Chains A and B, each alone.
Chain A
Amino acid sequence: AQRVTQPEKLLSVFKGAPVELKCNYSYSGSPELFWYVQYSRQRLQLLLRHISRESIKGFTADLNKGETSFHLKKPFAQEEDSAMYYCALSGRKTSYDKVIFGPGTSLSVIP
């Protein structure tokens, strides 16, 4: 079955410290992986997708097919990074129309 896990429900880091939000998935085939972010009182929005290989707001994520992981990383956390982060996948087995969300990790950056 297709599934996304995020082992940390809550993650607190100090400002300027590196941050890594973990994401693991189960999917037989080639999935599309995403990170969505939800800032306080704002709409859920796409942060980045693996196929773009881009860095958004200093965040990067590398798809590791061997470890079936798609961890989100940033070298120096900022206070404005405090938000809820959802890892998500889509693919042919979900008909691409559907996205399977992980349970989310709430990141808190301490000043």
Chain B
Amino acid sequence: DAMVIQNPRYQVTQFGKPVTLSCSQTLNHNVMYWYQQKSSQAPKLLFHYYDKDFNNEADTPDNFQSRRPNTSFCFLDIRSPGLGDAAMYLCATRAGGNRYEQYFGPGTRLTVT
């Protein structure tokens, strides 16, 4: 009954080699988020979609891009990963409207070699 699914759970990429992380949801929620979480730190919001409307955080590097081809799927593309991009990447959803709680996926741990 997984509601927010992230694939893969572990991803290893090489320095500078593009990588895509995937998220899907079975909740039919309007809003989808990507967070970066480094060790012992709070999740840091990278961007979110409200339906098809894309909202980028001001401090999200240009190296990070996102796509949401439909309600269920959202992708995080890292064009040229650096060693500093090694982290856990969390996908989350929210129903929208006045439903404020977020539902998180298990995360993808990205290693950059």
Contacts and interface: CB of A to CB of B under 8 A. Distances in A.
A70 interface: no
A34 B94 CA distance: 14
Interface in A29-48: 32, 34, 42-46
Interface residues of B, number: 22
Interface residues of A, number: 19
A98 B48 contact: yes
A96 B98 CA distance: 8
Contacts of B42: 86, 101-104
19 contacts: A32-B100, A42-B106, A43-B104, A43-B105, A43-B107, A44-B90, A44-B104, A46-B101, A90-B100, A96-B98, A97-B31, A97-B48, A97-B50, A98-B48, A99-B45, A101-B43, A103-B41, A104-B41, A106-B40
Interface of A: 32, 34, 42-46, 49, 86, 90, 96-99, 101-104, 106
